[in-house]
Structure 1
């Protein structure tokens, strides 16, 4: 992973901040990701959650039960650290550090693979995470962030 990619991922965290994000926005984001994935023929699972509650879930045709493990692990990581799993994967990779090796972020519960992105609200912080599993890590991440970016653009022009 290049430093440029890490810088891009870090910048996204500061850019993707919503003025508000409620259940209507959850539905709009989830439906947007599903629609984009269906058009592309992606066999993915989509999940939007906050601690203790799944707000949106869709398993598209061809997705597998294993993707549930990845969704749960990526979501747990992003919720715990309030960072995208792509930036965490890149930063830990650059350091050559595996947090599971010292018992921090055990593999049974946490996953460091791109595809889970915190949803931030200005003045509030992280209110949920949006997660995709089924593509390569970077593609999972990019699908979520592209849809977040589009939704944010619509929200700020209303």
Structure 2
């Protein structure tokens, strides 16, 4: 049986490390554009969605994405909002328990997807206030894209 503990700890550490002092509409615009630029540079077709307290602040789609990506984003956002952790953390956690989110948390699979790609926006000493989400790649890659750009963004401000 695979040991998921190191990966789970790494994902929790990302949530502890990648936090903002403040998150404005301008922050969402700059971060969303940074994610898009990285995706275009790497020739990855994605949708980016950033929300604060349920309010849509940034949403952009590269050519080749569609309505299905929007549905995936909403399902992943629902997981991040419900559990206060990244949707990828929840994916790995349920995998480590050898179950699914639907079996364990009794949520509607049409509304919740424990797959990588939605990362909570954490404010230091406050907690999660929104989400940064990507869809278009395998879940682990969606998560990695968000985390990589988020880390670079936070290190530059």
Q: TM-score under structure 1 normalisation?
A: 0.92
Which stretches in structure 1 are left out of the alignment for 5+ residues?
A: none
Match of 2:26 in 1: 24
Q: 2:54–2:130: 8 Å Cα contact kept in structure 1? A: no
Match of 2:115 in 1: 113
SS at match of 1:48: strand
Q: 1:44–1:133: 8 Å Cα contact kept in structure 2? A: yes
Match of 2:59 in 1: 57
How far did 1:102 drift?
Answer: 5.6
Match of 1:11 in 2: 13
Residues 7-156 of structure 1: pairs in structure 2 closer than 5 A: 7-101=9-103, 104-155=106-157
Could you list the per-position Cα deviations for residues 94-145 of structure 1 after superposition, in whole angstroms to 9, with x for gaps in the alignment? 0012231266221111111001000101122112100000101111000001
Q: More deviation in 100-109 or 81-90?
A: 100-109
Q: 1:51–1:79: 8 Å Cα contact kept in structure 2? A: no
SS at match of 1:41: coil
Which stretches in structure 2 are left out of the alignment for 5+ residues?
A: none
Alignment: residue pair count: 155
How far did 1:51 drift?
Answer: 3.8
Q: Distance in 2 between matches of 1:15 and 1:103?
A: 27
Q: Distance in 1 between matches of 2:57 and 2:36?
A: 14
How far did 1:76 drift?
Answer: 1.2
